[in-house]
Amino acid sequence: MSIGSVQSVVICVPASSSDQTSALDQQACPPSGSQYFHLQAQQAYLVDPADAGYLDGLAQPFDYSAAAGFFALAFTMVVGIWMVSAGAGAVLDVIRRG
């Protein structure tokens, strides 16, 4: 499932002082003070707006308290199962020895 696509986009990049900008450059990218800009085509991966929420969810910080809860539950289950199996082994040992 693709959440975006590669497309060509036009961006404004700063022009060096020796470059001359065209009227189209100045119309599409207005100068900011003494800084002029050039139009430049570039390929970019654009995300579909409907799938932006999925990426925002992935960008959330790691929740250490939830991870600690899952670890505590898993560790308790492992220790509990080990204790039950050790008790069952002791009962079977008593039965076997008679």
What tens digit of pLDDT does each residue of 1-15 get?
A: 678 889 999 999 998
pLDDT tier at 18, thresholds 50, 70, 90? low
Check residue 32 and report its DSSP letter. B
* Cα separation, 78 vs 70, whole angstroms: 12
Predicted pLDDT at 23: 86
How confident is the model over 8-26, as a mean pLDDT? 85
